[in-house]
Each structure stands twice: as structure tokens, then as C-alpha cells.
Amino acid sequence: MKIVQAQKFNSKEWNCLTTANIELKNPWVFANWLLQDNVEMINLAGKEQFKLLLQNVEKMDAQIDGILNSPTIDQAVIDSYPVDLNILTKDIIQTLHIPEHINVTINKTLPIIKGDKFRFQQLFQNLIQNAIKSIDKPFGEIEIDVVEDGAFWIFSKKDSGRGIPQEYHTKIFQIFEKIENDQAATGIGLSIVKKIIDFYNGKLWLESKPNIGSTFFFTLPRNN
């Protein structure tokens, strides 16, 4: 079990997240009610689709909770247990809305790593979502890979998006920081990624070329 001491939060950060809690949760609560209330009105094939939709709504509800809990994501008391990253990433890919023109590939079998499933889910989900938003081409590629490096795993997430200017390579990991012309970004996702990597004593960096794409690298201990 790992315990991390709480820190004082920036009031701006806390107020924004509290407002987001109300704005983001309401649509999912309504969707959950709508699906359950009308499931008996459709045929068997439709029920299977509704069941899948309901499962995805529940997953997204849990994921929204994770985003809204970002101030404490690196401060909670947790148990460490084996998490199969292959199953976890496949579940994320099935849950997210990935446009048809974007292909997501996992190049190698990912490791089973000790830690907290919720945090790993937030880590990979936010990186994949960031890649999806960055792709502005008719066809896009997202690749997830991993290599062993001594006591660490080195993971990478490569995309064929618009790229990130050099001056943003550090600041985009700070909460509410985003590229000036990126209207779709919230400025939250990559800050959550950074907090999780820091929580596990890993490192996070990126390489990027404008109009070609970006690769995010991060390390996690093999025996954490």
C-alpha cells in the first residue's frame, strides 16, 4: 500500500473542476436513465446494442470521475496489484469514439504491471484522446509501443497529428495549459498524465515535428 500526503490545491484549479463536475456529469446521468427506461421497448438485437451503450456510459461516467478527481489522483491511498495493460488498452479503444479515418495499433504485447488500474486507465486514455484530437489529416495513425530498459518499461504513443511546437513541450503538462490555436483541448488531460507518471516515479517527455506528428514517451518501473 502506498500513501502520498495531500497538498493544498490552487483555488482556480479547484473551482474549474467543481464547475466541470456539474457540466460533465449531467449528460451521462441523463443517458444512463434514458437507456434503462427504454430498453424494454426494442427488439433483441436492439437490446444488445443498448446493453453495449449502457456499459460504455458507465465506463465514461467512471472516466469523468477520474478527470474531475485530478487534484487527488497523485495523493490517494492505493493498493498495488497486477494490471494487464493489453486488456486495459483494448477496453479503452472500444469505449472511446475513434473516427473511422484513424487507426489505433498496439505494436507489441504490453506487460502486466503492478499498480492501480484506475490510474493506468487515465494514463492511456488521456494520451489516446490527445492523439485523436491532434489528427487533422484525411487518414491518421496512432501507435502504442513498449520496450524494456533495465528496471523500467519505456512506453511510447506515436501519432500522425499536427505536431506540437517546441515552446509547448514542457508547459502542456501543466493544468489548463494548451496550444493557443487548439480550441478542442481542455488543458487537463496531459496534466493528469504527468501526475500519474510522477506518482509512479517515472519520466515523461515528447518528440514532435510540426505537421508530421508527435511521440510521447514515459517510463514505469518494472517492479513498482
**pLDDT of amino acid 9:** 47
C-alpha grid cell, residue 74: 497523485
**pLDDT of amino acid 6:** 37
What proportion of the chain, given as a percentage, has pLDDT over 90?
39
**pLDDT of amino acid 168:** 72
Neighbours of 179 (CB within 10 A): 17
The three-class DSSP label of residue 102 is strand
For the chain, the structural domain boundaries read: 11-72, 81-221
**pLDDT of amino acid 98:** 87
Low-confidence ranges of the chain (pLDDT < 50): 1-9, 180, 183
**pLDDT of amino acid 44:** 65
Q: What does the angle CA 14 – CA 68 – CA 121 come to, to the nearest 5 degrees? A: 140
CA 219 to chain centre: 16
Each as own residue / partner, the long-range contacts of residues 15-20 (CB below 8 Å, 24 or more positions apart, any chain) are: 16/176, 17/68, 17/70, 17/71, 20/67, 20/68
Enter the pTM of the model: 0.69
Give the CATH class of 81-221: alpha beta
C-alpha grid cell, residue 192: 493528469
